[in-house]
Amino acid sequence: MNKREVQASVKDERLVQKRRDQMIKGAVALFKQKGFHRTTTREIAKAAGFSIGTLYEYIRTKEDVLYLVCDSIYDHVSERLQQDLALKKGTLDSLKLGIANFFQVMDEMQAEVLVMYQEVKSLSKDALPYVLKKEMEMVGMFENLLSRCVENGELHLSKKQVAMIAHNIFVQGQMWGFRRWALRKLFTLEEYIELQTELLLSGISAEVSATGTVPKSE
Amino acid sequence: MNKREVQASVKDERLVQKRRDQMIKGAVALFKQKGFHRTTTREIAKAAGFSIGTLYEYIRTKEDVLYLVCDSIYDHVSERLQQDLALKKGTLDSLKLGIANFFQVMDEMQAEVLVMYQEVKSLSKDALPYVLKKEMEMVGMFENLLSRCVENGELHLSKKQVAMIAHNIFVQGQMWGFRRWALRKLFTLEEYIELQTELLLSGISAEVSATGTVPKSE
Amino acid sequence: MNKREVQASVKDERLVQKRRDQMIKGAVALFKQKGFHRTTTREIAKAAGFSIGTLYEYIRTKEDVLYLVCDSIYDHVSERLQQDLALKKGTLDSLKLGIANFFQVMDEMQAEVLVMYQEVKSLSKDALPYVLKKEMEMVGMFENLLSRCVENGELHLSKKQVAMIAHNIFVQGQMWGFRRWALRKLFTLEEYIELQTELLLSGISAEVSATGTVPKSE
Amino acid sequence: MNKREVQASVKDERLVQKRRDQMIKGAVALFKQKGFHRTTTREIAKAAGFSIGTLYEYIRTKEDVLYLVCDSIYDHVSERLQQDLALKKGTLDSLKLGIANFFQVMDEMQAEVLVMYQEVKSLSKDALPYVLKKEMEMVGMFENLLSRCVENGELHLSKKQVAMIAHNIFVQGQMWGFRRWALRKLFTLEEYIELQTELLLSGISAEVSATGTVPKSE
DNA sequence: CATGAATGAGCCTTCATTCAT
DNA sequence: GATGAATGAAGGCTCATTCAT
C-alpha cells in the first residue's frame, strides 16, 4: 500500500479531510516552535480550532498527527516538483531548472521541511517506511532527470554516480533548510542555487578535469 | 567562554570525568535507539551502571546529559580530525586525505553523530550556541584546508566557493551517518569516499563549463 | 485585588467550586493529622475523592491547596462573625457576645484553625499577604466593636489600647484552638469564655490601678 | 526522664556537645529562613561547618536536629527566666518584672522562638511530650509568681484564674515573636510591655469591675 | 459529531541515610 | 572520628487517552 491509513471515528470523508488539514496546519506551527515531543495534544487541538475530544475523533494516537504532518509535507513538496519537472525533457537545462526549483521549494517550505526533518525519527517503526519511501521517490526524481541527461548524451555518468549525485542534490536542498542559521549569513537563496549548481556541474579543480574552465566568480 | 559548565555535586574531578564518560556512553546507546525524549533518566543511569541518585550527583537536569553527549561527540570528532590534518601542508592530496578521514570518522562514530544530529534541537537556547560553535569550527577546518590549496595555487576558488564547499563536505560526511539506511544499499564506505571526492574535484561534466545560465528564481 | 486567583483548567465555575470544596475538606483533615509537608498530593486527591490528575485540573501547585484551605477557613470564620456582629450596636454586651461567639467559632473550627495556624508560614511570599490581610480584617472587627464602645462612653481606651486588646482577643481565640492540649485539662469552653471575658473587663486586681510603674526595659 | 536522649556514635561527650552546638546554631538560622521541612540535612551540616557524614555521627535522624533545637531553645529561655525570677519574692513588682523580662527574652530570642513555635508540630509523637513538658514548666513559673502574690494578699485570684492568666502571659510573650509583622507597626517593645502589663492588672475598664456580674468561679 | 472532565501511568528530580575509605 | 559518594524511595506534576453527556 502506498499510504498508511490513519483511522478516524468520523465517517464523512470530506469532514475528515477538512479537520485534518486544520490539524496539520496547527501542528506544523507548533512542531516548528517546540518540536513534536514538547507539543501536547491539547495544544494541537487548540491550534487546530477544536477540542481535544474532537481531535481524537480524527486520529488514534498523537503519533498519527506526526505521520499526517510528514505525509502532507512530502505530498506538497512532491507535487510542487512534479508539476515543474514532469513535462521537461532530459536536458541539462531542465536539470538545472529542476535543482533550482527544488531549492526554491525547500526555501518556501522551510518550516515544514525543518519540522519533518527533525521529527521523522520519532515515527514508530510502523509509519517510518511510508515516509522513507516518499523520500526515495523524491531522490528518484532527480535520478530520473540525471539519467535522461545521460541517455541524451549530455552527461557521462555511471549508475552509481547518478545515484550519488541525486542524493547530494537532495541533501543540499534540505541543507538550505536545516542549516540556514549558518548559510543565510553567507548566501542569498539565489547565490546558493547558483553556487551549488556551478560546483555540481564543473567540480572545484580545473586541473583535475579536462577543461579547466572553472569560473573565478567574484 | 568556550564551554558551558555542567555542575556536579561531586568534587573529585577525576571521578566526575569517569562517571560522565560512563553516562555518555550509556546515553548515546539509548538516544540512538529511542531518541532523547523517549529515554528516561532512570534508563540512562542504569545504562551508565549506577543509580538514579548517583546520576544526579553529576548533572543537574536531563538536558545536561544531552549537552554532555553532544559536547563529547564534537570533541572526539574534532580531535580525531585535528590529529590527522594539523600537520599536513595545503596540498590537494592532503585535502583528499582530510575528506577521507572525515568520512571515516563519521562512519566509525555513526551512532554518536546520528544522535547528535537528531537531538541538538532539543538543547535549550542556553546550550545550543556552544554546540553550534563547535560545528562551525569543524566546517572551519575544511575551509582552512581548501584555503591553503588556493594559496598554493592548486585550486582556484573564491571565498564563497570555499565556504560552500566546506559546508558541502561537512554535510556529506554527516549524510553518510544519517542517511545510511539508503546509502548503504548503494555504496561501501570506500566507494562513497571515492565517488564524493571525485565528484567534488571534477564536477559531473567536464564539457559543461559554468555558463551562468542558472535560472534566476522568479 | 482581594483574592489571589488559583488557576483551574476546568471552565465550569460551579464544578470548580464543588471540587475545590471536596479538596479543601480532605486537605484539612490530612493537614491536621500530618501537616502540610507530610501530606502528599496523591493523598489529598484521594481524600477529596478523585484522582491525582483531576486534582491538578483544579490547582496548579500543591501550595495552591494550602492557600485555598487558608482562604476558605478565614472566609468561614469571617462570615460566621459578621453574621453575629454586624447588626449589634456598640454596647459592652455586644462586645461580650462578640467575644463569646468568636471563641465558639474557634472551638467549632478547631481543626481548621489549627491547620491554618501552623501552616500559613508555608505559603509562598506570593500568597502570604492575601492571608495576612484577612487576619488583619478579623482583628479589625474587634477593634471596631471596641471603638464603638469607646464612642458610646462605655469604655475609656486609647487608640493603642484598642489595638492591643483586639489583638489579645484574637490571639486568645486562636489559643483555645492551638493550646487545647493544655487548656482542655483546665477549662470547659464556657469557663474559658467566661474567665477570659472577666479578666479582660475587670483586670486581675481592681485595687491596683494602672500605676505606670512598669519597669522600663534597659 | 527529663530528657529524651539523642543517640550519638561518637563517645567523647565534650565533642558531642561542641558539635551539637554548632549544629543547633546553624539549624536555627536555616529553620528561621526556610522552615524545618525545606531545610536539608546537607544544608544543616554545611551551616554547622562539617560534612553530612559527620552530622550523622551525632544524630540519628533529621528530626533529632529539630528536637535538639527545640530543647536548646527552651533551655535557654528557661534559664534566662529562672535567673531573673528565682530569687524574687512574691510581690506585684516582681510579677511585673517577671513579665517584662519574659517579653524581653522573647524579643531577643525572637528568631529561635519563632522557629520553635512553628516547627514543634513536626516533632514525632515520640519527642513532643518532652518539649510540651518544658512549655508547661514555663507557664508554671508564672503560675508560681502569681500564686505567691495571692498568698501575699496582693492579688485575689482563684486557682483557675491564676492558671488562665499564666497562659495569657505566656501566649502574649510568644505573640510578640510570631505576630511581630503586625505588632511592630503599632508598638515598640517598651510600649508593648507597658500596655500589656497595664491591661493585665487593671482590666480595660475599672468602672465595669464594680458590677460584680462576673462570676467568681470556684 | 463535539465537548471537556476524568484518569493514572510515568517522568524528572530531591534528599535522608548509609558505609567504605 | 571525618568524609562524601552512592543509594533509591518517594514526591510533585504532566499529558495522552477515554467516555459520558
Tell me which protein residue sits closest to nucleotide E9, measuring alpha carbon to C1'.
C53
Residues 54-73 of A with CB under 7 A from strand F: 56, 60-63
A183-208 tens-digit pLDDT: 999 999 999 999 999 998 876 543 44
Pairwise CB contact (< 8 Å): B158 & A187: no
Cα(A24)–Cα(A2) distance, integer angstroms: 20
Task: Name the residue of chain C whose CA is nearest to D95's CA.
Answer: C214
User: Which nucleotide lies nearest residue D11, CA to C1'?
Assistant: F1
Three-state secondary-structure class, residue A147? helix
Q: Which residue has the higher pLDDT, D176 or B213?
A: D176
- Nearest CB to D104 within list C192, C213, C217: C217
Q: In angstroms, how far is F7 C1' from C57 CA?
A: 34
Mean pLDDT of chain D: 87
Q: Letter for the amino acid at D17?
A: Q
Give the pLDDT score at D115. 85
End-to-end CA distance of chain A: 51
- At which residue does the C-alpha cell 580525531 appear? B80
Q: How far is CA A51 from the centre of its chain?
A: 31
Q: In angstroms, how far is E19 C1' from D53 CA?
A: 10
Q: Is the CB of D19 under 7 A from strand F?
A: yes
Pairwise CB contact (< 8 Å): B210 & A213: yes
Q: How far is CA A108 from the centre of its chain?
A: 11
Give the pLDDT score at C192. 97
Pairwise CB contact (< 8 Å): A194 & B181: no
Pairwise CB contact (< 8 Å): B203 & A207: no
Quick one: average pLDDT of C55-80?
A: 93
User: Which nucleotide lies nearest residue C63, CA to C1'?
Assistant: F12
Tell me which protein residue sits closest to nucleotide F5, measuring alpha carbon to C1'.
B10
Side-chain half-sphere of D167: how many Cα atoms within 13 Å? 26
Handedness of CA B40, B42, B43, B47 (dihedral sign): positive
Task: Name the residue of chain C whose CA is nearest to D189's CA.
Answer: C217
- Nearest CB to D190 within list C35, C154, C217: C217
Pairwise CB contact (< 8 Å): B201 & A205: yes
Nucleotides of F under 7 A from a protein CB: 1-20
Pairwise CB contact (< 8 Å): B199 & A164: yes
How sure is the predictor about C205, in pLDDT bands with cuts at 50, 70 and 90? very low
A: neighbours with 3+ CB pairs under 8 Å?
B
- Nearest CB to B165 within list A135, A199, A211: A199
Q: From C193, C139, C137, C141, select the one nearest C164 (Cα to Cα).
A: C139
Cα(B22)–Cα(A218) distance, integer angstroms: 50
Instruction: Please list the alpha-helical segments (H only) found in chain A.
Output: 13-38, 41-48, 52-58, 62-85, 92-108, 110-119, 128-152, 159-178, 180-183, 189-202
Give the pLDDT score at D206. 36
How sure is the predictor about D42, in pLDDT bands with cuts at 50, 70 and 90? very high
Cβ-based neighbour number of residue B140 at 10 Å: 14
Quick one: average pLDDT of B183-207?
A: 83
Residues 43-82 of D with CB under 7 A from strand E: 52-53, 56, 60-63
Q: In angstroms, how far is E2 C1' from A128 CA?
A: 32
* Percent share of chain B, pLDDT over 90: 51
Whether the pLDDT of residue B209 is over 70: the answer is no
Whether the pLDDT of residue A115 is over 90: the answer is no
Cα(C145)–Cα(C98) distance, integer angstroms: 8
Task: Name the residue of chain A whose CA is nearest to B181's CA.
Answer: A132
Angle (CA) C49-C55-C56 rounded to 5° is 170
A65-114 tens-digit pLDDT: 999 999 898 888 888 888 766 666 678 888 888 899 999 999 998 888 88
Quick one: average pLDDT of B173-190?
A: 91
Give the pLDDT score at D131. 86
B84-130 tens-digit pLDDT: 666 666 788 888 888 999 999 999 988 888 888 788 888 888 888 88
Q: How far is CA D51 from the centre of its chain?
A: 31
C171-191 tens-digit pLDDT: 999 999 888 889 999 999 999
Pairwise CB contact (< 8 Å): A160 & B187: yes
Whether the pLDDT of residue A119 is over 60: the answer is yes
Cα(A209)–Cα(C120) distance, integer angstroms: 83
| Cβ A68 vs Cβ A59: under 8 Å | yes
Pairwise CB contact (< 8 Å): D97 & C215: yes
C136-157 tens-digit pLDDT: 999 999 999 899 899 988 888 9
Give the pLDDT score at D12. 93
How sure is the predictor about D53, in pLDDT bands with cuts at 50, 70 and 90? very high
Residues 30-69 of B with CB under 7 A from strand E: 39-42, 52-53, 56, 60-63
Cα(A66)–Cα(A75) distance, integer angstroms: 14
Q: Is the CB of B132 under 7 A from strand F?
A: no
The distance of A186 to chain B (nearest Cα, Å) reads: 7
Of the segments B162-171, B195-204, D195-204, which one has the largest average pLDDT value? B162-171
Angle (CA) B47-B48-B52 rounded to 5° is 90
Give the pLDDT score at D180. 87
Q: Could you give all domains of chain A from N- to C-terminal order, each with its CATH number?
A: 7-60 (1.10.10.60), 66-202 (1.10.357.10)
Q: In angstroms, how far is E11 C1' from C119 CA?
A: 29
The distance of C145 to chain D (nearest Cα, Å) reads: 14
B38-60 tens-digit pLDDT: 999 999 999 999 999 999 999 99
User: By mean pLDDT, which of B180-184, B214-218, C195-199, D48-52 is the weakest?
Assistant: B214-218
How sure is the predictor about C1, in pLDDT bands with cuts at 50, 70 and 90? low
Q: In angstroms, how far is F1 C1' from D123 CA?
A: 29
Q: Is the CB of C132 under 7 A from strand E?
A: no
Quick one: average pLDDT of B168-184?
A: 91
Q: Letter for the amino acid at D205?
A: S
The distance of C156 to chain D (nearest Cα, Å) reads: 7
How sure is the predictor about A176, in pLDDT bands with cuts at 50, 70 and 90? very high
How sure is the predictor about D86, in pLDDT bands with cuts at 50, 70 and 90? low
Interface test with D, best of C136, C138, C217 (most D CBs within 10 A): C217
Residues 30-59 of A with CB under 7 A from strand E: 50-54, 56-57
If you write DSSP's letter for every residue of B120-185 in order, what string do you get? GGGS-TTTHHHHHHHHHHHHHHHHHHHHHHHHHTS----HHHHHHHHHHHHHHHHHHHHTHHHHTT
Q: How far is CA A187 from the centre of its chain?
A: 21
- Nearest CB to D198 within list C181, C214, C215: C214
Residues of B in contact with A210 (CB under 8 A): 206
Q: In angstroms, how far is E2 C1' from C56 CA?
A: 24
The distance of A57 to chain B (nearest Cα, Å) reads: 26
B: neighbours with 3+ CB pairs under 8 Å?
A
Whether the pLDDT of residue A62 is over 50: the answer is yes
Quick one: average pLDDT of A50-72?
A: 95
- At which residue does the C-alpha cell 509509519 appear? A127
Of the segments A17-26, A129-138, D107-116, D150-159, which one has the largest average pLDDT value? A17-26
Furthest-apart CA pair in chain C: how many Å? 65
Quick one: average pLDDT of A15-21?
A: 94
| Cβ D45 vs Cβ D52: under 8 Å | yes
Cα(A177)–Cα(A171) distance, integer angstroms: 10
